Amino acid sequence: MEQIYQYLLVDVRVLPEVYLKVVSAKQLLAQGKAKSLSQATKMVGISRSAFYKYKDYVFPYQKDAAQQMVTIYAELVDEPGVLSTLLSELCRRGGNILTINQNIPVDGVAPVSISMRTDRLDLEPRALVEELRRLEGVVSIKALSGN
């Protein structure tokens, strides 16, 4: 019996250019760089009908995306600017913050979890956590998941 595959991973060099243009148009819309579908398709050079034909079937593949993320759990002193300082340091080091969840402080300490991409960090996530541990207002911090 012949197996039918639902998905294939294909090198873009062998695909018709329209697929890449559809992905580009979707990004322009999502990032607000195009105000309308008509503008996005015009910017990338495809018709609206081509966009509609493929939009639900073409997606970019991010190699090792799950391996390029880390979730950090921290307990921070409940004082103005502590979370801001932590986030600024993560960004300064190249972290791309995806989610932040801060809970209500108990006994003057606020628990925070931060998920971020690590592909542009200028040091390893474990070393980053060690540096963050030294920031004023950080009671405790650890990497829960990721590389």
Whole-model pTM? 0.62
Rounded to whole angstroms, the Cα distance separating 144 from 123 reads 17
**Domain-by-domain residue ranges, the chain?**
15-54, 66-146
CATH number, span 66-146: 3.30.70.260
Read out DSSP for 43-98? Answer: HHT--HHHHHHHTTT-----TTTGGGEEEEEEEEESSTTHHHHHHHHHHHTT-EEE
Strands 96-102 and 138-146: unpaired
CA gap 143, 72 in Å, rounded: 4
pLDDT of residue 66: 52
Q: Give the rounded distance of the alpha carbon of 42 from its chain centre.
A: 27
**pLDDT tens-digit readout, 82-102:** 999 999 999 999 999 999 999
Q: Looking at the predicted structure, is the pLDDT value of residue 139 above 90?
A: yes
